[in-house]
Structures are given as structure tokens and as C-alpha cells.
Amino acid sequence: DRRQRQMCIRDSIYPTFKLEEGRELLQYTDKSISTISEFLCFSSQSHFHTAFKKQFGITPSEYRKQQND
């Protein structure tokens, strides 16, 4: 039971850390979104795109554009 509970906590927290890392990579590097999603071990670029938009309310490309304006 304790082990299962730890896995649930990890599974719910870890994606948030991955998305925070993705946000920093978008802001501070010129790596492509495809490269970032692969680096963060998302199953696909579209999965990264969807998760990022759900977390932050904008797409990765919109976020990068905002940072460059």
C-alpha cells in the first residue's frame, strides 16, 4: 500500500517537474521543441504540446514567442 501510494505521488509530481524543465529550456535555449520533448522523454512532441498547454495555458511555441518579444 505504501509503495503504491509513493508511485501515485511520484507519477503526479514528476510530469510537473518535466514541464517546468521544458519551460526553462524553451526560455533559455534555442533547442527545437521536438528536441526538448525528446530530451524530457515525452512519448511524442504532440504529447509534450498537449501537456504543456494544459499546465501553462499556452503552447510551447506561444511561450517561446512571448519570451522573445
Q: What is the pLDDT at residue 35?
A: 94
Gap between the Cα atoms of 26 and 21, Å rounded: 9
Residue 41: closest CA among 58, 21, 61? 21
For each of the chain's 69 residues, which pLDDT tens digit applies? 555 544 444 455 577 889 999 999 999 999 999 999 999 888 899 999 999 999 999 999 999 999 888
Q: What is the pLDDT of residue 64?
A: 96
pTM of the model: 0.78
In angstroms, the CA 26 to CA 10 distance is 24
* Residue 28 φ/ψ, nearest 5 degrees: -105, 0
Task: Give the per-residue pLDDT at 7.
Answer: 47
